[in-house]
Amino acid sequence: MLPNLYTNDSTSSTSQSGSQSGSQSGSQSGSQSGSQSDGQSDGQSGGQSGGQSGGQSGAALSGQRLARLVNELSVEFISILDLDELTEHVARRVGEMIDHKFFSLFLIDEARGGLVWKKAVGYNPEEVAAHEIIPFDRSVASAAWREGHTINVCDVARDSRYLPVATAEGSHPRSEIAVPLTLARENRVIGVMTMESLEPNYFTRDHERTLGALGAHLAVALEHARIYDELRRRTREMRTMIEIGHEIASILDLDRLLNHIAALLDRIIDYEFLLVGLIDEASEEFIWHVEEGYGATKREHASRTKVSHGVVGRAVRERRTQIVGDVSRDPDYYVSDRWDDQGQRSEIAVPLVCEDKVIGALALESSRVNAFDEYHGRLLENIANNLSIAVVNARLYSEHVLRERQLEREILMARDVQRAMIPDAPPQIKGFDIAARLEPALNLSGDFYDYIPLSPDRVGILVGDVAGKGVRAAMGMAAARSILRSVARRGGGPSRVLRDANLRLHRDLGRQLLLTLVYAVLDVKTKTLNYCNAGHNPPLLVKASGKWKALKTGGLLLGVFDKQQYKTETLRLEKGDALFFYTDGLTEAHTPQPNRIEFGEARILDFLLEHRHLRASAIIDAFFNHIEEFTTGAHQHDDLTLVVIKAL
C-alpha cells in the first residue's frame, strides 16, 4: 500500500520542507503568512532569509517522489486492459495516495450528450443511477471537461456549478477537485476524475499537481482499455451476429421467425420497444407482426398503419436507416394511440430489403435520448439483411407447403379414384379359385390388374406395370386400363387385343407411356388359358405334380412401336395347377443396405413349389408375409402386385 502523501493540513509539502531545514524564526513566519493567502509571494518574502535553500531542497525531493509515484502508477494502469478492472484499481490506488471520502470517474459520451458515471465511491447507488449521464452544462466535472484543466473548489456551497449527489452516509461534501483526463497527442478529454471531501479547502496545489500528472497517464490507460474493451465487445457482437444469422436462416416458419427476433436483438442491443412490420402491398400498409415492450400483450389481430406514417415510413421511402436522437423534435415521428405517452425519446428504424424490394421495416425505441448510434445502425442493418432473406424464404416455404398440401389432397383423391379401378373382389368362377393383392409403394401406383367379363364362360385377366412411379405412372395406368378394356370387349384373342391396344396407345400417347402387360383369357368350359405376354415378367404355371413353366410367349412391351405383332399360347389347366401373375416389384424386393440381396425369381418359384397346395388367398397371404420378413428394414421402392389362379 502506498504511504498517504498528504494530510488534512492545507500547507504544501514544499513549504513544510523549507520551514524545517531553514531558520525557524524566518521560515515559520513565512510559511504561516503564505498558507493564509492563495499566492506564494508572502511566503517567499517571509522565508527568504533562512528557508530558501531548505525550500528548494524540499521541492526537489517532492518532485522526485512525485515522478516515481506517477511512473509506478502509470505502469500499473497501462498493464490493465479490462476497463472495469482498471477503474476499480484506479479508485483504490488514488484512495491510498490521497485521503478522501468520495471518488468518481466519468467517461465522455458525446453521442449521449454528457459524462457517463463509470465508477462511484461513497455515493448513494440510487442517486448514481438517477444521474447516470451528467449533462455537459452541469457539475464541476462538466466544467473541467469544457475548460480542459483541473478545477479545485474550496467550498462547493458557493459554486453554482456544483451538482449535489446524495452520499451513502447522508453527509454533505464541502470541497471538490475535478481533473480532466486528457490525451495529450490529440488534445482530447476522454474523462474526468473527481474527489470530494467533508472539509472545506481540503485539496491543495500539490493535490492538483499530482492528480494532473497522474491524469495524463490515466487517460492513456483508459483509452487503451476502452479500445480493448470495444474490440472485445465488437468481437462478441460479431460472433453473436453470426449466430443470429444462422438462427434466422434456420427458421422457415414465418410466425416463429418474427416472434424470435426480440430474443435475438436482446443479445446485442439495449432497447425498450420493438416493432417488426411487413408491407401489405394491396393496402399499402404495415402489418405489425411484432409489437414488444411497454407492457404490450399479444393481440389476436396484428395492428396496421399506413406505410407513409412515421420514422419507419421515412426509412422505407428513403430505403436507408433512420436514427432519431429525440423523437419530440422529429416532425415525422408517429405513434398510435395505443402507444402514446410511453416515454419514447429515441428511435432507430431499418428497412427490410430483399432483391431491391422493400418488404417491411424493423424499429427500436428507447426512453433515453440518443440511445442509438451509427454502430447500432450497422448491427441492425446486418440483422435486417438476414431477416429480409429469411422472411422471403419463409414465405416461399409457406407457399410451398400450401402447394404440397394441395397436391397431397389431389393425390389422395386420385388414389381413391385409382383404387376404385382395381377390383374389390375376384370373380366367382366355377372350377377356379382366384385371389389378388396390390400394395403400392406410394399413394399412387403404376401396377394394375383387372378382370374383364367377355362371356358367361370366358373372362379376361390383365396384369400390367406402367414404367415409372407416382402421378405419371398412375395416369398411364388409367389410360392403359381404359384402352385395354375397350379393345378386349370388342372380341378377339389375346394377341389381337394387345396388337390393337398397342396401336392406340402409340397413336394417342406416343412414347410417353411404356407398359409391360400379360393378357390372358380363361375359358371355364374348356379349362384352357390363352395368354400373350408383352414384355412382362413371365407368369409361372406350377402343375400339381410340381413341374412348372414360365409363360413367355408374346412380344415387346406396349407403346414402343406402332406396328407390333404378338403371339398367343394356349395352356390346358388340370386340377391342382396354380398360375402365378406378378410384377417386378416382387423380384426386385431386397434386404437392407449394405448387403443388398434381391428376392429374385428363384425364390418366387421355390415358394410356389412349397405352397402350391394352399388356396389362392392363402398363397398370397403367405407370400406377402414372406416378402415382409425378407425385406425387414428396407424401404419398399416399387409396387407389389400378385394374382393367383388355382384350378379346382
Q: What is the pLDDT of residues 499-539, one digit of tens each?
A: 999 998 888 877 777 889 999 999 999 999 999 999 999 99
Q: What is the mean pLDDT of residues 446-454?
A: 91
Mean pLDDT of the chain: 82
Are 462 and 606 members of one domain? yes
Residue 32 has pLDDT above 60, yes or no: no
Are 186 and 46 members of one domain? no
Are 432 and 566 members of one domain? yes
Least confident of 34-38, 99-103, 251-255: 34-38
Are 459 and 560 members of one domain? yes
184 domain-assigned: yes
- Domain hosting residue 3, numbered range: 1-76
Q: Which residue has the cell 535553500?
A: 53
Which of 383, 398, 413 corresponds to the end of one domain?
398
190 domain-assigned: yes
Are 237 and 354 members of one domain? no
Are 217 and 324 members of one domain? no
Q: What is the pLDDT of residues 325-342, one digit of tens each?
A: 998 899 888 876 566 666
Q: What is the mean pLDDT of residues 292-317?
A: 81
Are 72 and 85 members of one domain? no
Question: Exposure of 408 by Cβ count < 10 A (0-12 exposed, 13-18 middle, 19+ buried)?
Answer: exposed
Residue 346 has pLDDT above 80, yes or no: yes
CATH number of the domain enclosing 428: 3.60.40.10
Are 385 and 256 members of one domain? yes
Q: How far apart are CA 258 and CA 391, in angstroms?
A: 8
412 domain-assigned: no
Q: What is the pLDDT of residues 258-275, one digit of tens each?
A: 888 888 888 888 898 898
263 domain-assigned: yes
Give the percent of the chain with pLDDT over 70: 87
Q: What is the mean pLDDT of residues 307-334?
A: 91
At residue 553, the pLDDT reads 96
Give the percent of the chain with pLDDT over 90: 36
Read off the pLDDT band of 25 (50, 70, 90).
very low
381 domain-assigned: yes
At residue 596, the pLDDT reads 85
At residue 40, the pLDDT reads 35
Residue 578 has pLDDT above 60, yes or no: yes
Are 58 and 12 members of one domain? yes
Which of 32, 50, 76 corresponds to the end of one domain?
76
- Enumerate residues 6+ apart whose C-beta is below 8 A from 449: 422, 423, 436, 438, 461, 462, 463, 464, 581, 641, 643
Q: What is the mean pLDDT of residues 223-248?
A: 83
At residue 622, the pLDDT reads 94
Residue 364, strand partner residues: 274, 348
At residue 338, the pLDDT reads 61
454 domain-assigned: yes
**How many CB atoms sit inside 10 A of residue 439's CB?**
15
Q: How far apart are CA 41 and CA 50, in angstroms?
A: 16
Q: What is the pLDDT of residues 594-622, one digit of tens each?
A: 888 889 999 999 999 999 999 999 999 99
403 domain-assigned: no
- Enumerate residues 6+ apart whose C-beta is below 8 A from 371: 112, 270, 271, 345, 346
Residue 460 has pLDDT above 90, yes or no: yes
411 domain-assigned: no
At residue 341, the pLDDT reads 64
Least confident of 117-131, 448-462, 523-537, 611-625: 117-131
CATH number of the domain enclosing 375: 3.30.450.40
Q: What is the mean pLDDT of residues 34-49?
A: 35
Are 167 and 297 members of one domain? no
Q: What is the mean pLDDT of residues 620-626?
A: 93
- The answer to whether the Cα torsion of 208, 213, 214, 215 is positive or negative is positive
Residue 294 has pLDDT above 80, yes or no: no
Gyration radius (Cα) of the chain, Å: 48
Least confident of 47-51, 66-70, 220-224, 319-323: 47-51
Q: Is 227 helix (H, G, I), strand (E, B) or coil?
A: helix
Are 58 and 91 members of one domain? no
Region of 354 (left: φ > 0; alpha: ψ -120 to 50; beta: rest) is beta
Are 513 and 596 members of one domain? yes
583 within 8 A of 577, measured Cβ to Cβ: no
At residue 296, the pLDDT reads 58
Which of 333, 364, 398 corresponds to the end of one domain?
398
Please give the tally of structural domains in the chain: 4
